[in-house]
Amino acid sequence: LAKKERGCTFRFYEERNFEDAVNQITLEPELLNALRQEQFVLHYQPRIDIHTQRIVGVEALIRWQHPEKGLLFPDTFIPMAEKSGLIVPMGYWVFNKALEDMKLLDAQGCELNRIGINLSFRQFQDDTLVPTIARLLSRSGIHAGRVEFELTETAVALNEQHVSQCIADLSTLGVTFSLDDFGTGYSSFAHLQKLPINTLKIDKAFVQGVTDNPDDAEIVRAIINLAHNLRKDVVAEGAETAEQINFLKRNECDQVQGYFYSKPVALPLLFKQLKQQRQKLAGAETEAETEK
């Protein structure tokens, strides 16, 4: 029986590898082509201040508008882009596009305080990372303090010295950093101590467990306290229910990014959300004035 099970396991992996390999062969040239033909789009997910309910920033999330397969999510193509190195030009495309979109929103009077941009470990292997980011930033005219690069602990751990140096160099430009998926990577308190990290983003796996799993609740509380004691912002990712939001409020989490408030949306819908918020705030102000 054991032998038979082993056989099954082996076949399972073999089939998976075969599938992965086939996908890679068909998708890899397609990826390069997609970049050339601008088939990628950015969606934006609002980051909400849990106490004021206001949008305080967004995260840029890439999607592939595939001509036949429809809208593809990053999990289906980012790993391949990382393996092939295509993530490097793709990453610059993302950064540049996000800055352009910010300028469009600024021009409409809907300024975002902050935009989160994911950086892959692989992008640090590009020697031109720092000067390219510097060039794109200054060309855009966007204030560097509005940009927050999202790193994973694993990316940092892979080549600590080099990545730390890049982060230090990027920091001198004025950009800020967050640790993404916090708690799931090769966590080290040394990263928190040595790197100029502004924000901890609690992984959604913990956040989604807070109301059912006492361990998840304890972990989330611990991360919130850790962030506050180190004077960092803390964002809970992936909150979907009112119960989760209440837990986060009770435990003084600052910000939430999750489906409960909004899924990632295309720019026109983000614009609409920001405009509505602006109108609501203006309405609240006139109300306050008439009461005086």
Query: Which residues lie near ligand C2E (CB under 6 A)?
Result: 45, 61-62, 73-75, 78, 87, 91, 94, 118, 120, 150, 180-181, 204, 237-240, 257-259, 264
Chain centre distance of CA 274: 19
Q: Which tokens hold the place of 214?
A: 């006492």
Does 181 engage in binding with Mg ion (CB under 5 A)? yes
Q: Choosing among ligand C2E, Mg ion, none, which partner's interface includes residue 240 (Cβ < 5 to 8 Å by kind)?
A: ligand C2E
Size of the site for Mg ion (CB under 5 A): 5
Which region, judged by CB under 5 A, interacts with Mg ion, from 40-48, 82-90, 136-144, 147-155?
A: 147-155
Determine phi and psi for 202, rounding to 5 degrees. Answer: -70, 130
- Tell me how far, at minimum, the Cβ of 14 lies from ligand C2E, in Å: 27
Burial 75-84 (b: 16+ CB within 10 A, else e): eebbebbbeb
Query: Measured from the CB atom, is 212 or 287 closer to ligand C2E?
Result: 212
Q: How far is CA 247 from CA 30, 217, 235, 254, in A?
A: 44, 9, 13, 12
Residue 265 CA to residue 207 CA, distance in Å, equals 21
Q: Smallest gap, in angstroms, from Cβ of residue 51 to ligand C2E? A: 19
Contact code string over 223-252 relative to Mg ion, x by CB under 5 A: --------------x---------------
| Closest CB 287 distance from Mg ion, rounded Å | 37
In angstroms, give the least distance from the CB of 77 to Mg ion. Answer: 14
233 binds, among Mg ion, ligand C2E, none (CB under 5 to 8 A by kind): none
C-alpha dihedral over 76, 235, 204, 223, to 10 degrees? Answer: 130
150 is a site residue for Mg ion (CB under 5 A): yes
Residue whose structure tokens are 């489906």 = 259
Q: Which residues pair with 256 in a beta bridge?
A: 48, 236
Query: What amino acid is encoded at 200 in this protein?
Result: L
| 258 binds, options ligand C2E, Mg ion, none, Cβ within 5 to 8 A by partner type | ligand C2E
* Residue 99 CA: distances (Å) to CA of 17, 36, 44, 141, 243: 38, 19, 12, 9, 35
Query: Cα 102 vs. chain centroid, distance in angstroms?
Result: 16
Q: How far is the CB of 94 from Mg ion (least distance, A)?
A: 12
Non-local (6+) Cβ contacts of 45 within 8 A are 58, 59, 61, 257, 262, 263, 264, 265
Q: HEC string of 136-175?
A: HHHHHCCCHHHEEEEEEHHHHHHCHHHHHHHHHHHHHHCC
Is there binding between residue 273 and Mg ion (CB under 5 A)? no
Nearer residue to Mg ion within complex by CB, 30 or 55? 55
CB of 58 to ligand C2E, least distance (A): 12
Under the criterion CB under 5 A, does residue 180 sit at the interface with Mg ion?
yes
**Least CB distance from residue 98 to ligand C2E, whole Å?**
8
Of 118, 199, 244, 255, the one binding Mg ion (CB under 5 A) is 118
Q: Give the residues lining the site for Mg ion (CB under 5 A).
A: 118, 150, 180-181, 237
